[in-house]
Structure 1
Amino acid sequence: MQEELLHSVVKLTKTRDVDSLESSLLSTIHEFIGCQKISIYKSTLGGDELTVECSLSFEVLDDKQYHWQESERILSPSSELLSCLHSACIIAIQGQDGVERRWIPITLSDKPIGAIAIVSPSLSSADQVLLNAFCCIYENYLTILHENERDKLTGLLNRQTFDKKLKQLVEKQVVNHHKTLKASEDRKQYKETVSWLAMMDIDHFKQVNDSYGHVCGDEVLLILAQTMEKFFSSTDLLFRFGGEEFVLVFEPVTFEEVESLLNDFVALVRRTKFPFVDKLTVSIGVAKVGPYDFPIHILENADRALYAAKENGRDQICFFESLVSCYERPAGDEGDGVDLF
C-alpha cells in the first residue's frame, strides 16, 4: 500500500501542465478511495458575477466502464458548491442511501479558486485523511504550475505556455470537427463555429513609457490585463507575449460573434481610465484557427492582420481572412504574381 501510494505521488508531481495534473489526480483518488464520481470545479469572479466551470469530471458507470467529461460551464451551481467556494471550508452531506457528497475547496494564494467534488459511499476516517492529502498535493503543485505558466506582472498566461496550449486546442478541434461533420446531415444549413486567435498591441505604448516612466507603463499593462480577465470568458486563453503585446485565443464561435466581441472590447478600452494617460487604444489582428493549421502559421496570419490594423489608423480590429479576400486575383487575371505581404 505504501509503495503504491508513493508511486501515485510521484506520478502526480511528474506532470508539467494543469490538464495532466487534473486527470492524474482524479485517477489516483478513484484508485485509492473508489469514488463513484469525482469532479474539479473552477471559479472566476468577473465584477460581481461568479462563473463556475467543471473543468474535468470522472464517473464510474460500472465495473469496467468509465466516463470522462471535459470543460463545461455550470449555469446553476449547487448551494453546497457555492458555499464551499465562498467559505473555503469542506462541506459533506450524507444521504439516507448512505451515499456521501463532499466538496473540498482549492485555494491559490490564500484565495478559493475552485473545489473538488466527491460522490462516494461513506468515507472512513483513513479515507478522509488520504483524500485531503491528495487535494493538498494537488493544491501545492497547482501553485507551482501557476507560477511557471503565468506572467509575473499581469498574471496572464506567458509566452512559454502558448505553443503547448494552442497545440492542445488545435488537436481538440480536429476531433470536434470530425464529430460535427458526422452529426451534421444538412451541411448547407450548418453555421460554422471555429476558434480564433487575436494578437493585440497597445497603440503608442512607447510614448507612455517615455513620458511617464516604466512604473506607469506597468500599471497600464496591469489594468489592461485585469480588464481583459473581467471582459472575456473564463474559457478563453489570455497571454501576455511580452512588452505591450497580448494574444487571445477564443473558444469556437462564429465570425459575427467574435467580431462583435472584439469591437466591444476595443470600445471598452477606449472608455477605460488609465493613470496619467488621457486616452488609450488598442489594435487587434485576428486569424481563424483551423483544425489542420500549424500554430506558427496562425500566429503569422494574426500578426499580418495586426500590422494592417496599425497601418490603417490603429484603434481597430482587422481579420486576416478579410485581407486575403481583398487581394484575391480576379478570374482570368494571370499576372506575374504579387505577394500579399
Structure 2
Amino acid sequence: MNAPVTLGISSLAHVLGEPCDVAETAPSYVDDPDRVIRWGYRTFHRAAPGVGQTRMAADAARKALDAAGLRPSDIDYLVVADSGVPEYLNWDASAAVARELELGTTPTLLATQGCASAVTALQQIAGLMAVRDDIERVLLVAVHRVSETHINRMRNNTCLGSDGAAAAVVQRGHGRLRWLATDQIVDPRYVDFFRVEYGGSAAPAGDNLEVDQMALVHRHFRREPEQLAQFVKDVDHQVAAVVERACRRAGVSSSEIRRLIYLNDNQHSLAGVAKATGVPLERTNAELAAELSHVGCADQLMCLSVYDSRDELAPGDLVALAGLSGGMQWFCTLVRV
C-alpha cells in the first residue's frame, strides 16, 4: 500500500538528564534493590531540580533545528508528545514549548496518549500533510520527566523511568527515514493499569507513592488468575501482531526488519519481544535500553537519534518503532532509512 504522502525525518536530536548509576541509587528508591537491578538497567537519567518538560523539549528541539540548518520560522507545525505528569493542569504544554522556541503563531498539537504518543504522531503528521499542502516541515518533540511527587521511578511498573526528550524534523518529500505506515491495537479492558491514581478530578487527594501499581494489576485478575498468565503471554504476542499489521499496511514483509526499536523495557521483556517478533535480540534496542532506561514516549525517537549519530543505520534498512502503552495499546510505525 502506497502512503498518501511522502515524508521523512531530516534531522534528529535528544537530551537527557544527569546519569545515575542504578545499583548505587536503587536503595534510595526501593526496599528491594536487587529486584530493580535484575531488570538489567545500568544507568537512568534524572533531570536537575527545576528542569521540567518544557525546557527539555525546547532544548532537544533546538538541537534538531540546528542539525537541519533551520530556524524556528522554517517550521509550519509543532507536535509535542508528553507522557509524564504535566507541569500544570488545564495548560497546553505544546504552546509552552512554542513560546520557548519563539515560534510565534505557528499551530501546535499536544499528544498525551502515554508511551504511544510520539510514534503514533508520525501518522498524524502524515495526515496533516495529506490534507494541508501548505505544511512542509513539522517539528515533532517527545518528552518525559518522572514527577517524583507522583511516581516512584523504580516501582511504578517493571521499567525504570528516565528523564529526557527527543526531537525530529519531519519534512515533506524527504526520502531518508521515510514514514511507511503506522498501526495500533487497543484493548480498553486494561485502561486503568498504571494510571496516576490521585490528583485528577475523580480523586483529587491521596498519596500516589503509596499505590502499588503491580498489586493493582494482580488484584484485577484475582478471581481468574489463569487470565493473568494469559495476559502476560498476550503482551508479547500483541507486539508481534501490531508489527505484522504495520508491515501489511506498508506492503513489506516483517522478515525485512533490520532493527526493532521497542520501548526501553527491562532485559527479560525485551528478550520476550525479540522471540515473539522473530527479530534477533542484538537487532533490538536491548543494549541501548540498559544505558538509557525508559524515557516514556521519547524512547523510540531517542534510540533512533542515538543509532543515527553512531552511523548504525544503513541506507535501505527497515526500522520498526514499536511499543506498549497504557490504554492498553500496542503500536508500531515503520520507517525506511
Normalised TM-score (structure 1): 0.25
More strand by share: 1
Larger radius of gyration: 1
> Higher RCO, 1 or 2 (CA under 8 Å, sep at least 6)?
2
More helix by share: 1
